[in-house]
Amino acid sequence: MPNKLGLFSLLYMNDTNLLDKTSNFNIKQEKVHPELRIDPTDDYSFNNQQRNNSLMTSSPGSSPSPPSSPTTMSRASLPRLYKIMTISKLLSAILIFFSLASIYIMLDSFQHHQRDVSGCQTSYMRPEYIKQINFDSEMTRFAGKYGLYLYREKGVDFSDQPTGVPVLFIHGHAGSYKQVRSLAAESAFYYYQNYVHDAEKWQQGVRNLDFFTVDFHEEFSALHGQSILEQAEYLNDAIDYILKLYPQTRKFDAETKLPDPTSVIIIGHSMGGIVARTMFTMNNYQHGTINTIITMSTPHMLPPVPFDWQISQLYDDINHFWQEGFSHPNQIDDNHKYPPPPHVSLRDISIVSMAGGTLDNTVCSDSTNIGSIVPATHGFTVFSTAVPHVWTGADHVSILTCNQLVKVVSKTLLDIVDVRRGTQTKPLEKRMQIMRHAFLSGLEDRKGDGSDVELGNLTFYNLQSNEGLFLKPGERWVIDSETIANMILLPTVANADAFSILSDSLIGYNGRFELMLCSKVNGYVSNSTRVACRSTTPIAVPIPASTQNDVYPFSGNTFSFASIEFKEMGTYSYLAVVDKGSQSGGFLVIEPFKKNTHSQVVRQSMLSIALEGVHVKTGPGLFTSIRIPSIESPILAYHLKVSRPHCRNYPTHFAPFLRQSISTMHESKFYVNLADNSQAETDVSIHGRTAFASIVSNSRDIDQNGLSFQLWMDPTCPEPLQLDLSIDWYGSAGRLGFRNGIMLATFSFITVMLVFAAQIKCYNDTGIYPHFGQGLSFCFQRSLPLVMVCVAICSIAQCVSPSIHYTFDDLWYLPSPKVSWQDIMTGNTDGFFWWIPLAGLALSVGVVSLLWLIVECAIRISAHASAFFTKQYGLATWPSRNHETRQQQFQRRAVTTFILFLLVATFIPYQFVFVVAFLVQIVTCVRALVRARALPNRSDCRRSNRYNFMLSILLLFFTLLPFNLPILLVWIRNISVHWFVPFSSDHSVLAIAPFMIYVEILTSNRKMLPRQKSRFWSIITYLIMYYIVIYAFLYGIKYTHWIYFLTNHLVVWFLFLHFQDSHYGKLSFHYLMDHIMFGSKKHS
C-alpha cells in the first residue's frame, strides 16, 4: 500500500496500476492459491510471457492497452481527459461534502423547522367491528383478499343492522380499517345527543350514520397502481352489497315509507381518496351510487411514489376523466350509455379535499389541491388550520383522530343527510352551501353586490331616545362591558365604503350582539324613531381570540368578526348593532373604513424580497389587508416580525393578530398575540401550486393573487404597526427537499448514464475500459459542463415562459401545445427557482460519487475476504465447471432462464427477478475482481476492463432499484396474507428478459461489452444512451417509471452488440451479405 495515501485517493487510481507490481507502489508478490489459478482453457489467459513483460514494465501513470497484439498493447494508453487530476479529486470531494451537508440540512430543516404546532385533542370511543360475512366470493372476486365491516359504537348503537345512512370509509396506504373509529364514534355521539329527540330534524330527514369500513390488510396502495384498481373494483361491489341491505333492515325499523338508498357517502384517507375517484372509471361502477366524497390528506395531483408505471398512468386517467366530466356542464345527458360518460357520472358529485399542512410528513399538502380538477360548484380544498373552531394543523394520521376536526366533519355529515331522498343527501347546491359554511373560514371574498348576504325577516322597531343611539357619520364606536343602548346605528358615510366589527362575544341570535341592516321609515310615534331592519348576523364569523393570555389559535377562546361593504347593504342606510347585555362583560369595536386606504399591495419582486425582505407600516385601524403577489411558491418559508411597542401603555382590548391566506386554495393560518415581544419572530409558510400543474386561482387580477395578510389591531391606540417579513433560508431547505425528492433519484441515474457513456467511448477508442472514477473525471471536463449549460438554458426558458393564472372555467378553452413547459424537468415556472435543476444535478453527482466509493470498498473487502478464506482454509470460493462441455453449459443456462421466465409469467413479479439479478451482479463483480488479481503479475488489461465494466453495470442497477423494490414489497405483503393471485401488470416477461439474459451472459461467459471499432455502431450506441439522458432530464421527474423501460431498451441493444460480435452473429451477417445484398448479382 502506498504510504500516507487515503482511501479516497486509493480508489481513484487506475485499478490495473494499483495492482501492478511497480517500484512506486512496492507491492509484495503473493503466492496464488490453486483454487484461484486460471484455467488454461480460459479465453482470457495469456498467450506468451512477452505480453506479461510488456505489461509489467508499463508506467504506472497509464493503463494497459487492449489485447489485440503486443505492439498495440504497448502503444495504447489512457487518454488525458480520463486521467485523474488533483482538480478532479478536489471537485469530487467538494461535491460529496456538498451532498452530505445538503441532505443533512434538508432532513434537519424538514423535521425541526417551520413546523406547525399541533393542537389536536384526543378522541375516545368504544369500537365494535361487525364483519359482513355474506359479502363473499359470490359477490366479489376479491373476497379472499379484502374484508368489509360495519362499525358500531358500544353503549350508543344498539342494533347490529344498518338502518341509517350508509357511509363508506376507505383507508390509505398501509392503513387500517379501524381508522374509521374516531369519525364513526363522534357521529354516533352527536346524533344521539342532539338529533335523536329533535322532531324538526327528524322531519327534515336526519338519521344516524352507518359507517362501513374496508380492510385492505394494510396494502401498499401508494406503491402499486394495480392494487388501487383492485381496491376500486372491490369497493364498487361492496357498495352494491351495502345498498341491498337497506330494503330489508328498514322494514324492521318502521322506515318502510322512506325510499331505498341509492348512493353512499365516501370518506377517503390518503390513497383512499384516489381509490374513491378511481371507482368512477371502473366498469362495475353503477351510476349514481356515490354523490359525496370527503378526502383527507389525499395526493390528488401527483402520485407520492411515481416509480410504478401503472400508478402514473392511473393518475393521468382519473384526472382526465374528472376534468372531462366537468368541462362541459351544459352537455346533454346520455343516461342510456354504458358505462356512462364522465359528465353524467359526476354531475351530482360534491367533493371536499382536506389537508393537514406542514405537519403532514407523508403527503405534501400542495398535492391535495383539486382546484384544477373540480370547479368551485362541486368542491374545494381546505386546510385544517382554516376550519372554524379547529385552527390547528394535523399530521397524516392524526387528521383522522383530531377531535376538533372530527367533530366538525361528523356534524357536517349529519347536516347534509336527507333520508327522504333516494340519494340520502340534500341536493348538490345545498350540500355545497353546508360544507362551505362548516369548513371554510368565512373570511373569503364575497361577490360584493349583496346577493350572497343572508338577510332575516323584516322587523320594525320604534326606538325611544334611551333605546337607540344614532352615531355621527364616520364615528368609531367601542362598547365595553356596560350596555350603552339597546341598538346602535351607524350610518354610511361618503369617505368610507365598508364597516368592520370585532367582538369577544358571540355575534348572533344566541349571543350578546346581533347585526342588522336598517333604514328609517315614515311614521311618527311620540319621542321615538321608527326603523325597518333585517338581521344580517350570518356575516359574522368566528375567529381565534387574541389576548395577552392566548399563545395559539386553538386555545378554545374565540372572537367574532364581521365586515360588510356599503354597496352590499343595498337600500339600507344603517348598520345596527343590537346589544342584549351580558353579565360576563366583553367588548365590541365597530368602525367605518375605506378599503383602498386599509389595503396595501406590495409590488416587490422575489429577488428584492430575498435581498431586502418586506417592510410594511400600517396606520391604526381595526382591520387592514396586505397582499404580496410575488409570494406564491410553497418552497420558501419566512420569518414574520410584528411590532407596535408604543401601545404597551394603552389599555387595549385585544392583542394584534393576523391571518395569512393564499389565493390558489383555501389555506388560512391565524397567528395570535403578536407584537407582545418586539424581538419574537413567527414562522410563516404557505402551500400552493404543485409541480406540473396549472395555476388556478379565484381571480384573474394579479393584485388579488399571492400571499395575503389580514391584520387586526386595537384602533384605540393611535400608533402604527410595523410588519417585517424575511426569508427563512434554513427552514426553506426542508421544503425544497420534500418537494423535489424524486429529482435526486432521476438525476443520479442520469449521472451514472453519463459516466457509463464516457467509459464506453474510451473503450471503443482505445480498448481500455476506465474505471468509474476515470469516467467521472472525463465528465467533469467534458460532459457535465455541457449538460449543466443545457439544463440552465432549459430551466431559464421554462421559467420565463408566461405564467398565467387561470380560473377553472378558463382551463377548457386553452390550446393544447405539443410541448408544455410546465410538464418538463421539475415543473417549475417560477423564475426565482431556475437554479433548482442545477443544484439537483450537483447534489446527484456527489451522491453517485459517494455511492461509487462505498460500492468499490465493499467489493474490494469482499474480494479480500474471498481470497483470505480460500488461502487460509483451502475453500473453493467459486464452483468450477471446467468439466462441463459447451453444450452442457448452454443446456443448463437455457433451463435456468426458461424456469425464470415461467415463474415470472405465473407467480413471481419481474421486479423480484431484477433484485435477484442485482444480487447476482454483485457476486459477479467480486468474482471479476478476484480473477483480475489472480495472476502472479496482476496486469491483465482485459480482466481489469471486465471488472470496471461489471462495476458500471452494478451502479446502473443500483439506480434502478427504486423502480423495483416497491412492487416487491407489495408482492411480499400479498404473500403474507395468503393472496397468490398474480398481478398481470407485473408479470411481463419482456420487462425483465433483457436484464435476465444479459446478467446470465456476463456471469457465465466471463464476457463484457464487445469493443465497437466501427464508427457506425459506436454512434448508434452513443445516440441511444444520450437519448435516454435527454429524456430523463426532460420527463424523468414526472414520468419516472419510463427510466426503467428505456434502460431495458439499452440492454436490448447491448445484447444485439454481443450477438453481432459472436460466431453466430458473424455467420448471420455473412449469410445476409451473400444471399440478400449480392443475391441478385449472382442470379444475373
pLDDT at 988: 86
Q: What is the C-alpha separation between 478 and 1040, in angstroms, rounded?
A: 61
pLDDT at 625: 94
Q: Are 5 and 922 in contact (CB under 8 A)?
A: no
pLDDT at 49: 38
Classify residue 6 by burial, with Cβ atoms within 10 Å: 0-12, 13-18, 19+: exposed
Q: Of the residues 58, 109, 270, 708, which is catalytic? A: 270
Q: Are 630 and 706 in contact (CB under 8 A)?
A: yes
Phi, psi angles (nearest 5°) of residue 906: -120, -40
Q: Are 920 and 980 in contact (CB under 8 A)?
A: no
Collect the ranges in the chain with pLDDT lower than 70. Answer: 1-76, 251-256, 328-339, 483, 524-526, 583-584, 676-679, 694-703, 802-821, 873-884, 935-940, 980-984, 1005, 1076-1084
Cell of 731: 427552514
Q: Which residue has the cell 397502481?
A: 225
Classify residue 765 by burial, with Cβ atoms within 10 Å: 0-12, 13-18, 19+: middle
pLDDT at 340: 72
Q: Are 602 and 628 in contact (CB under 8 A)?
A: yes
In this structure, are strands 528-535 and 513-520 parallel, antiparallel, or unpaired?
Answer: antiparallel
DSSP, collapsed to helix, strand or coil, labels residue 962 as helix
Superfamily in which the 127-439 domain is placed by CATH: Alpha/Beta hydrolase fold, catalytic domain (3.40.50.1820)
pLDDT at 34: 37
Counting Cα atoms < 13 Å in the Cβ hemisphere of 777 gives 22
pLDDT at 21: 36
pLDDT at 47: 38
pLDDT at 335: 56
CB count in 10 Å sphere of residue 874: 10
pLDDT at 803: 54
Q: Do domains 127-439 and 599-727 have the same CATH topology?
A: no
DSSP, collapsed to helix, strand or coil, labels residue 213 as strand
Q: What is the C-alpha separation between 143 and 573, in angstroms, rounded?
A: 67
Whether 270 is catalytic: yes
DSSP, collapsed to helix, strand or coil, labels residue 320 as helix
Residue 493, C-beta contacts closer than 8 angstroms, at least 6 positions apart: 473, 474, 592
- Which amino acid is residue 412, in one-letter code? T
pLDDT at 825: 86
Phi, psi angles (nearest 5°) of residue 640: -115, 130
Q: What is the DSSP string of 880-924?
A: --TTS-HHHHHHHHHHHHHHHHHHHHHTS-HHHHHHHHHHHHHHH
- Which amino acid is residue 665, in one-letter code? M
Among the four given CATH numbers 2.60.120, 3.40.50, 1.10.10, 3.30.70, the one describing domain 599-727: 2.60.120
Task: Tell me the domain boundaries of the chain.
Answer: 7-82, 86-103+738-802+823-1071, 127-439, 458-593, 599-727
Q: Which residue has the cell 416509480?
A: 307
Q: Which residue has the cell 500500500?
A: 1
pLDDT at 255: 61
Cell of 956: 446502473
Distance between terminal CA atoms of the chain?
A: 70
Q: What is the C-alpha separation between 618 and 605, in angstroms, rounded?
A: 21
